[in-house]
Amino acid sequence: MAKAREGGCLCGKVRYRALGPPNNVTNCHCRQCQMAAGAAFVTWAEFPAGAVAWPAETPLWYRSSARAERGFCPACGTTLTFRYLEGDALDIAAVTLDDPDALPPEDELWTASRRAWAPGDERLPRHPRERKPG
Ligand SMILES: [Zn+2]
Ligand SMILES: [Zn+2]
């Protein structure tokens, strides 16, 4: 049976369950993640969209760019999710897991816009922008 991981927002209104292993886990230093989370970077665990369930409330979605949207708790504002409009993946903010150490990052994206005082994890592979060109 696939391992289920649970998590949710600061106030507890929005809860999720993610089944099975993530596709990847990454620290994203892009400017949009910085602004959306009010933080230097966000650690995203990407799952197949169908692997993530919302037992009670669902996040509110905000169209953050021409090709992506972000989900947050409507009550407390916690940044919870990211997804491209095209595609079948859903990113969960890994630090919102009940076990926030369960899914450590494997690489770093958008280091071109990382803050000088927030170097992330120097041991990880780094990509100045997205992981794959195009
Ligand atoms: Zn909340
Ligand atoms: Zn980002």
Q: By C-alpha distance, which of 15, 12, 109 is closest to 54?
A: 15
Would residue 24 count as lying in a domain? yes
Q: Domain count of the chain?
A: 1
Would residue 25 count as lying in a domain? yes
Would residue 121 count as lying in a domain? no
Would residue 124 count as lying in a domain? no
Would residue 130 count as lying in a domain? no
Q: Which structure tokens are listed for 129?
A: 């922008």
Closest ligand relative to 73 C-alpha: 1
Would residue 133 count as lying in a domain? no
What is the distance, to the nearest Å, from the Cα of residue 88 to the centroid of all Cα atoms in its chain?
15
Containing structural domain, residue 29:
4-113
- CATH number for the domain harbouring residue 11: 2.170.150.70
Separation of 40 CA from ligand 2 center, angstroms?
Answer: 10
pLDDT digit string (tens) for the chain, length 134 residues: 788 999 999 999 999 999 999 999 999 999 999 999 999 999 999 999 999 999 999 999 999 999 999 999 999 999 999 999 999 999 999 999 999 999 999 999 999 999 999 987 889 999 999 987 54
Tokens 């903010």 sit at which residue? Answer: 93
Would residue 123 count as lying in a domain? no
Separation of 121 CA from ligand 2 center, angstroms?
Answer: 16
Separation of 29 CA from ligand 1 center, angstroms?
Answer: 24
Measure the CA–CA gap between 57 and 76, rounded to whole angstroms: 13
Closest ligand relative to 14 C-alpha: 1
Q: Which residues surround ligand 2, an ion (CB under 5 A)?
A: 28, 30, 33
Separation of 29 CA from ligand 2 center, angstroms?
Answer: 6
